[in-house]
Amino acid sequence: MLDFEGSDTVVAEGRWSSSDPNALVHHIPLGSNAVRVWVDIARQPLKFLWKVTPYMTTIEESIGSTIAWPADRVIMFAPN
């Protein structure tokens, strides 16, 4: 996942979960132009989430959970 503020800095690594706008992320619909991703590795742990929740505000706090991220800021790689 790239920094949503526009730089090409990788802020986290994870796994794609859904791009369905009706998919829920912590009880909130994902919405358009977004993807739900699992966060596995925090590259910039103190970076704020694109959509904060009452339970999570930073990348580090989201490790092991799903978050919403702008679709145009996610780079997909095929598994080896």
* Domain layout of the chain by residue ranges: 12-73
Closest CA to 75 of 6, 10, 26: 10
74: Cα within 13 Å, side-chain hemisphere: 22
Radius of gyration over alpha carbons of the chain, in Å? 11
Tell me which residue has tokens 């092991």.
64
Percent of the chain residues topping a pLDDT of 70: 99
| Residue 49: pLDDT over 90 | yes
Percent of the chain residues topping a pLDDT of 90: 88
Is 11 within 8 Å of 2 (Cβ atoms)? yes
| Residue 30: pLDDT over 80 | yes
Report how far residue 10's alpha carbon sits from residue 73's, in angstroms, rounded to the nearest whole number.
Answer: 9
pTM of the model: 0.92
| pLDDT at residue 54, rounded to an integer | 86
